[in-house]
Amino acid sequence: MQIKYRVGVMPGPWPAAGRDFFWRFVDLCEKSEIDSVWFSERLSSPLPVPEPMTAMAAVAARTTRLKFGPSVFITPFRTPVLAAREIAMIDYLSGGRMLPAFGIGVEQEREFLAAGVPFKERGRRTDEAIAIMRRVWAEDEVTFAGEFWKLDKITVLPKPAQQPMPLWIGGNSEAAMRRAGRLGDGWIPSFITPEQFRVGVEKTQAFAAEAGREVPDDHFGVLFYYCLDPDPAAARALAAPFIPRGRVDDATLTRCTAFGPPDLVRERLEEYVAGGGSKFILRPMGPPERALDQLTQLATDVIPGFHRRDG
């Protein structure tokens, strides 16, 4: 199989003119060689964060080439049939450009309380929801009796344009790797070093083999932060105020980000490729007023050459 290498982007911090920034960001992505645009999901955030389902519907309407996805849907927040119907509709209307990825959410119980979902059930709910979504996307009529949901002759129409509909799993825990191996079509973690990623790819494939499955070799990727500046120290200083705290230690952060010149971004991409990655989401960190310049430089100096390496 020929591996196809692709880079997508996720908007970083938003400037005050958020709506104007959103459309400029989308238009830049559509006109460049950026492969896809991704949206984080948080129920509560101190900074503006696009709601992914509605944002992707807007992107689908405004563009003709660009693919899009959530990184990741917090699966327990939604009932699976409703989520499957919305995803199927966007995929259908966009001609098959939706790339859904699912996870269990961050370790903040207050968000699950706000969503009315027991925190301790989030893993089991995610597994059951994935099973339901796969079935209603593919089958004409679904009857299902699970721990959390019961379906009696349920039909979702229109079906997604993509058949089968891809379903990726996010998260860098061993539980996420196991879920990707047992249930997913791909694995895309964040805040993970190239060395940890290589081990995770191997574990995910081992979990898949135990389940009698195989995750395609070109269905592994990573989300990582970057900030472009000729001086790595200056790039890190620009990015520092916008990096979520408490996710990883400083040593790990240094290995799972790229703060410096374009060559450093290319080097980091190649390190993940050596560990089995081929699909990437890059998120610019730094002052919001520099976000579009960061994207433009990435689209000009990094992405075209990286995409052409699959020849």
Q: Return all residues near 57 (Cβ < 8 A) that are at least 6 apart.
A: 90, 93
pLDDT at position 45 is: 82
Helix, strand, coil percentages, rounded to 5, for the chain: 45, 15, 35
pLDDT at position 249 is: 87
What pTM, to 2 d.p., does this model score?
A: 0.95
Average pLDDT over the chain reads: 95
Q: How confident is the model at residue 17 (pLDDT cuts 50, 70, 90)?
A: confident
pLDDT digits (tens, 9 = 90+) for 242-275: 988 777 889 999 999 999 999 999 999 999 999 9
Residue 311 predicted with pLDDT over 90:
no
pLDDT at position 310 is: 65
Residue 222 lies in a domain: yes
β-pair partners for 73: 102
Asked if residue 222 lies in contact with residue 261, where contact means CB atoms within 8 angstroms, the answer is no
pLDDT at position 248 is: 82
pLDDT at position 100 is: 97
pLDDT at position 247 is: 77
Residue 238 lies in a domain: yes
CATH of the domain at 302: 3.20.20.30
pLDDT at position 246 is: 74
Residue 1 lies in a domain: no
Q: Which residue has the higher pLDDT, 310 or 24?
A: 24
pLDDT at position 48 is: 80
Residue 1 predicted with pLDDT over 80:
no
Distances (CA, A) of 3 to 80, 219, 264: 32, 9, 22
Residue 19 lies in a domain: yes
Range of the domain at 124: 6-308
Residue 290 lies in a domain: yes
How many domains in the chain? 1
